[in-house]
Amino acid sequence: MSSNPTPGDKHRKDSADAPQPTAKDHDALDPQLLEQVLSETVLNAPGTGDPMAPEEMEALYEVARRHPGKPLTLQPVAVELVEALLMRRFPDQADREFWKHLANRIATTLMDDPPTQERLAVFWASLRDTVK
């Protein structure tokens, strides 16, 4: 019996192959890991033609529920959005603080890029409107 993959299965499979962090200095993130996670977070984001899994969308809606009416800001909104995706795509993280630091780095990179920040702002407004 074959099972049909659900949206987001690709992300979890790819994530299983991702290098897992070790007890590294949080300020010296592995550039390859940062690039891979950033690519998965941005390239597989809404509007890119690769649908998110329902549980990923629910995690993002939960962020919107925690911050009703707030505009898109680095802290707490963008960081929490990225962290919500990381927690779903990399469920076996060994070092929670490492992943929080990584979410902050990714969110900062996204917010520093004007076209990406604009897309993220539109997406954030859509999330907020959906959970009103």
Q: Which of the two residues, 36 and 130, has the higher pLDDT score?
A: 130
Q: Is 107 exposed, middle or buried (0-12, 13-18, 19+ CB in 10 A)?
A: buried
Note if the pTM is more than 0.85: no
Q: What is the pLDDT of residues 80-110, one digit of tens each?
A: 999 998 888 888 877 888 888 989 998 998 8
Domain boundaries, the chain: 35-130
Report DSSP letters for 18-65, one per residue: SPPP-S--TTS--HHHHHHHHHHHHHTSTTSS-PPPHHHHHHHHHHHH
Predicted confidence band of residue 23 (pLDDT cuts 50, 70, 90)? very low
| 3-state percent breakdown (helix, strand, coil) of the chain, nearest 5 | 65, 0, 35
| Confidence at residue 8, expressed as pLDDT on a 0 to 100 scale | 47
Q: What is the pLDDT of residues 108-123, one digit of tens each?
A: 988 998 988 988 899 8
